[in-house]
């Protein structure tokens, strides 16, 4: 029986790939060492929802760059299709796509990362993978073909992951507009009785297990 390949899990290193892109051959995650990157797949070039997504990503590209984060698109189209589509977007919609698009025409990356869901057809679904500067997979999202992504949410996730790493905290729902703690962050739960007893004196708390603080 053929051994089934396991998909990578959160906290694991992203598998290594050598890929063709609109910006030349790239090695993942090696070429992005020291940077965060968002790898995202789209069902196909020259489709309306995908076009709106690429425009939205392009318009936020500088915001991602300011977070030391690169963008990389992917579909199972060939590279010449990507090039023509990018040209069409620039000529017709007056938006330049500044990031590379992987031509995964053999489906190797899509298969390895679970981007093709048989129940949704033979094209890649709208997958999102966020990888940190050490090449570790930090987040995975899958959207169906019929629903476009919210790029502001992807930006928020990158900011949240970076803040969590920097401060050693957890990020509440809808941050930075949480209904309970607004733009504050959550202190990790106490792991012993002595720490639990001090928590309410050190931080603002609803209880010793639910404390929060403001960060700069």
Between 53-62, 106-115, 176-185, the lowest mean confidence (pLDDT) is in: 106-115
3-state DSSP assignment of residue 205: strand
Per DSSP, the residues of 169-202 read: -B--TTTTSBTTTBT-EEPPPPSSHHHHHHHHHH
Calculate the alpha carbon distances from 9 to 82, 105, 114, 118 in Å.
Answer: 29, 24, 11, 20
3-state DSSP assignment of residue 216: coil
pTM (2 d.p.): 0.93
Domain ranges of the chain: 17-150, 168-216
Half-sphere exposure of 58 (CA within 13 A, CB side): 18
Fold for domain 168-216? Antioxidant, Horf6; Chain A, domain 2 (3.30.1020)
Residue range 17-150 in CATH 3.40.30.10: yes
Nearest to 116 by CA among 138, 144, 136: 144
Which one from 39, 50, 89, 187 is the annotated catalytic residue?
A: 50
pLDDT band at 121 (very low <50, low <70, confident <90, very high): confident
Q: Is the pLDDT of residue 90 over 80?
A: yes
Q: Where are the alpha helices (DSSP H) in 27-103?
A: 48-59, 61-66, 79-93
Q: Is the pLDDT of residue 1 over 50?
A: no
Average the pLDDT over 51-65 and give the result. Answer: 98
Q: Is the pLDDT of residue 153 over 60?
A: yes
- For residue 79, the model assigns a pLDDT of 97
Among this protein's residues, is 205 annotated catalytic?
no
Q: Is the pLDDT of residue 3 over 60?
A: no
Could you read off the pLDDT of 185-198 as tens digits, one per residue?
999 989 999 999 99
Distance, in Å, from the CA atom of 148 to the CA atom of 95, rounded to the nearest integer, reads 18
Could you read off the pLDDT of 101-119 as tens digits, one per residue?
999 998 999 999 999 898 8
Six token digits for residue 62 = 């500088």
Contact between residue 19 and residue 109 where contact means Cβ atoms under 8 Å apart: yes
Q: How many residues does the chain have?
A: 216
């Amino acid at each position: 029986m053929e051994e089934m390949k396991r998909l990578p899990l959160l906290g694991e290193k992203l598998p290594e790939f050598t890929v063709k892109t609109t910006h030349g051959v790239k090695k993942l995650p090696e070429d992005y060492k020291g940077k965060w990157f968002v790898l995202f797949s789209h069902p196909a070039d020259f489709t309306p929802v995908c076009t709106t997504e690429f425009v939205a990503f392009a318009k936020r590209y500088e915001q991602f760059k300011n977070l030391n984060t690169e963008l990389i698109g992917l579909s199972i189209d060939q590279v010449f299709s990507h090039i023509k589509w990018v040209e069409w977007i620039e000529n017709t919609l007056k938006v330049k796509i500044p990031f590379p698009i992987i031509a995964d025409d053999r489906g190797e990356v899509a298969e390895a990362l679970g981007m093709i869901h048989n129940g949704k057809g033979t094209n890649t679904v709208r997958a999102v993978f966020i990888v940190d500067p050490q090449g570790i997979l930090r987040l995975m999202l899958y959207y169906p073909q019929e629903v476009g992504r919210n790029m502001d949410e992807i930006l928020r996730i990158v900011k949240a992951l970076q803040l969590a790493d920097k401060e050693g905290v957890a990020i509440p729902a809808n941050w930075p507009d949480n209904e309970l703690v607004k733009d504050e962050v959550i202190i990790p739960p106490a792991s012993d009785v002595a720490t639990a007893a001090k928590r309410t004196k050190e931080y603002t708390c609803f209880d010793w297990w639910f404390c929060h603080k403001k960060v700069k």
